[in-house]
Chains A and B, each alone.
Chain A
Amino acid sequence: MAESICRALRDGALEGEHAPALTIKDSIDAPLGFDVFAHVLAQLSSHILAGKSQSRGLVLVAFTRSPSFYVDLLKERGLEVNSSRKWIQILDCYSDPHGWKDRIMGQGKVDDATKEASGVSRLCKDVKDMDKLCSLAIELGKGLLGEGKGRFSFALDSVNEMLRYASVHSVARVLSDLRSHDLASCVFWLLHSDLLEDKVAAVFDYMSSMVASLESAIRASNGLRISLENLSLTEQNFRRAKFSIRFKRRNGRVRLMSEEVSIERSGITFSSVSTDGGTMGGSLLPKVQFNLQLSEKEQMDRAKVVLPFEHQGNGEPIEIYDGRRSLADKNNEAAGTMQMKDSSKVCLHCWCCYRITDVASNYSNGGIS
């Protein structure tokens, strides 16, 4: 399923359509959103470098990590940022987002980046100006294309930070402008859903053609924050999560898929949803084509069935159905019915709690009063 996302971003925009847009959502209970973002970033970068994607370059708008961090991250995955062909630019909204360091240094050089990162990054010192930020991002993208034709992609590592600096309308306008730009191939962004109101999160869901949500297998008792109640399960939540993807097609139909994401030594892995209810916390029923669960009506009807030789024990006369006649017929034949008081119980399966002589005498007398 994650591969479907990466393929969609790789294939890019269709003629006359807006670029595909991906929202990656997580929360404090399932904080693997950045791992997924990094995976998608690396996959798309790999396709770009191999020349297999529609996009010829990538503009990364970095709010929560430094450019050096991303350079090292891509390097670990075998992706060289300073190759002969310029393919990535990082708009650095992390190092000095409000120009504080710029004022301190007195227009001196603010350099949070390594030499390697400084070659592919550009500092943004006023992130509150969303229009300027958008223009800078597009300008960087055009710079990647140079004189040639083609398209480029955008990646934003935190919509939440953008929302701290600007209104929902401004941020939504930026994302919409990026997505609808003629040269945009695809756009993807990360947001923490628990830092937003539901209606705000819905705004970005509407703008996306794909929404990838991360949910924890085990929910914390206080709903939002790490819980002390179940430490081992809390720990599990930070290595594994349920990964649900909603694809919105052009014709309006929505396709839903889900799988399990986990952080292993080799990196992030995606697999089919586990049937092990103990770890995923979901239903314990196996995945089959037919429904094994009973509806409420079926459960009520089942409760009403009087089983043969069943102990009723509620003080009322016990009626035992021997399987040969209906209950209505049996009621009319008082002589053939064994009745006993609540204090004298019999188990006709095994005779374990009644004397044989008593049973024999009861039969001959036609019942016990």
Chain B
Amino acid sequence: MDNLLDRALGLDGRGDRWPLLGKVVLVEDCVETGGAFVVHHIIKRFLSPQPAAASNHSLILVAFSQPLSHYDRVLRKLGCNLVAQRDHDRFLFFDMLNLRFPDRDDVKTGSSVLVSLFEKIYNAVRALSAEKNCITIVIDDIALMEVVANGSSDSVLDFLHYCRTLTSEFDCSVVALNHGDIYSTTEKPMLMLNLEYLSNILVRAEPLATGSAVDVHGQLMVFNKGEHDGQGTPGSKVHNFHFRVKENSVDFFYPGGRG
């Protein structure tokens, strides 16, 4: 059943084609309100067994922050078996946690790590695309990628630019998670702004203005550039709604109305 987040992302259509193809989705969160559940939701929707056309969907997860067991546990509760998907070559996991960091504190070396990572992703995408697969690349998360790149935001932007070229070359979609409050002290958060310019859809998880609550865990703003309004006028659409994260699902509802 479609929910408010599906509607905001354009996932509520009935067509065979994955609506996020060729798009870059950026999920921003903060310490008070984590946004990882949005990434999990997109993974689940992408790999969910219906409709039948989804059988050619392949997902590449580049994990800087959690091991595979974590994602497997979370997605199982949402009804998606990552291990089974991996066995069917529909799920590729790049474990960046166990990456051996270079001894030298060198930006150039950090950049070369991302170059070799992109090489792996590019080869995987080319192989999957040859089998006419629909591909989504998920990056969790950009802040830790910057750590791997020894703090070089230019290297991170170069890497993301190359991932973006895959959206036009192979019609992939790219979903990335980033933590907005890391850059909150800077006057002009350049990396954040660059990412917002790069993205086609921005999903921002924020706490409620009134503070924390037991039954409402936060609010989402979904900014969908290029979404048409009811009259077909091109433009951008902004969606805002609240959410509550439960054990096996997430409820989305408009302010004042419980789902």
- Binary interface encoding of chain B residues 213-240 relative to chain A, with 1 for a CB under 8 A from any of its CBs, else 0: 0000001010101000001111111101
Q: Interface segment, A8-16, A227-235, A247-255, A290-298? A: A227-235
B188, B204, B236: the one contacting A238 at CB < 8 Å is: B236
- Binary interface encoding of chain A residues 81-117 relative to chain B, with 1 for a CB under 8 A from any of its CBs, else 0: 0000000000000111110110110000000100000
Q: Does B130 contact A (CB under 8 A)?
A: no
Q: Does A239 contact B (CB under 8 A)?
A: yes
Known A31-B197, A101-B122: A112·B169 in contact at CB below 8 Å: yes
Q: Does B95 contact A (CB under 8 A)?
A: no
Q: Does A304 contact B (CB under 8 A)?
A: no
What's the minimum C-beta distance from A222 to chain B, rounded to whole angstroms? 10
Q: Does B39 contact A (CB under 8 A)?
A: no
Known A66-B168, A100-B118: A265·B231 in contact at CB below 8 Å: yes
A212 to B170, CA, bound (A): 35
A98, A112, A234, A265: the one contacting B158 at CB < 8 Å is: A98
- Binary interface encoding of chain A residues 186-197 relative to chain B, with 1 for a CB under 8 A from any of its CBs, else 0: 000000101100
Q: Does B192 contact A (CB under 8 A)?
A: yes
Identify the closest chain A residue to B192 (Cβ).
Answer: A225
A56 to B3, CA, bound (A): 53
What's the minimum C-beta distance from A226 to chain B, rounded to whole angstroms? 6
The number of residues on chain A lying at the interface, defined by a beta carbon within 8 Å of a beta carbon of chain B, is 32
Q: With a CB–CB cut-off of 8 A, which chain A residues contact B169?
A: 66, 95, 112
A153 to B232, CA, bound (A): 34
Q: Does A363 contact B (CB under 8 A)?
A: no
Q: With a CB–CB cut-off of 8 A, which chain B residues contact A232?
A: 238
Q: With a CB–CB cut-off of 8 A, which chain B residues contact A192?
A: 193, 197
Q: In the complex, are the beta carbons of B237 and A226 less than 8 A apart?
A: no
Most chain B CB atoms below 10 A, which of A100, A195, A234, A239: A100
Q: In the complex, are the beta carbons of B234 and A263 less than 8 A apart?
A: yes
Known A112-B168, A238-B225, A239-B233: A100·B193 in contact at CB below 8 Å: no
Q: In the complex, are the beta carbons of A100 and B219 less than 8 A apart?
A: no
Q: Does B74 contact A (CB under 8 A)?
A: no
Identify the closest chain A residue to B158 (Cβ).
Answer: A98
- Binary interface encoding of chain A residues 26-52 relative to chain B, with 1 for a CB under 8 A from any of its CBs, else 0: 001001000000000000000000000
- Considering only residues 149-182 of chain B, those with a C-beta below 8 Å from chain A are 154, 157-158, 161-162, 165, 168-169
Most chain A CB atoms below 10 A, which of B119, B165, B194, B196: B165
- Binary interface encoding of chain A residues 19-31 relative to chain B, with 1 for a CB under 8 A from any of its CBs, else 0: 0000000001001
Q: In the complex, are the beta carbons of A28 and B161 less than 8 A apart?
A: no
Identify the closest chain A residue to B220 (Cβ).
Answer: A228
Q: With a CB–CB cut-off of 8 A, which chain A residues contact B119?
A: 100, 103-104
What's the minimum C-beta distance from B226 to chain A, rounded to whole angstroms? 10
Q: In the complex, are the beta carbons of A195 and B206 less than 8 A apart?
A: no
Nearest 5 interchain pairs by C-beta: A238-B236, A239-B235, A112-B169, A66-B168, A265-B233
Q: Show 24 residue pairs from A and B whose CB-CB distance is below 8 angstroms, ordered by the A residue.
A: A28-B193, A28-B197, A31-B197, A66-B169, A69-B168, A100-B119, A100-B122, A100-B162, A101-B162, A104-B122, A224-B188, A225-B189, A225-B192, A228-B221, A231-B221, A231-B238, A232-B238, A234-B238, A235-B235, A238-B225, A238-B235, A239-B233, A263-B233, A265-B232
User: Which positions in B face A, CB cutoff 8 Å?
Assistant: 115, 118-119, 122-123, 154, 157-158, 161-162, 165, 168-169, 188-190, 192-194, 196-197, 202, 204, 206, 219, 221, 223, 225, 231-238, 240
User: Which positions in A face B, CB cutoff 8 Å?
Assistant: 28, 31, 66, 68-69, 94-98, 100-101, 103-104, 112, 164, 192, 194-195, 224-226, 228, 231-232, 234-235, 238-239, 263-265
Q: A231-B221, A238-B225, A265-B231 are in contact. List 6 more A-B contacts (CB 8 A).
A: A100-B118, A104-B122, A112-B169, A226-B221, A228-B221, A265-B233
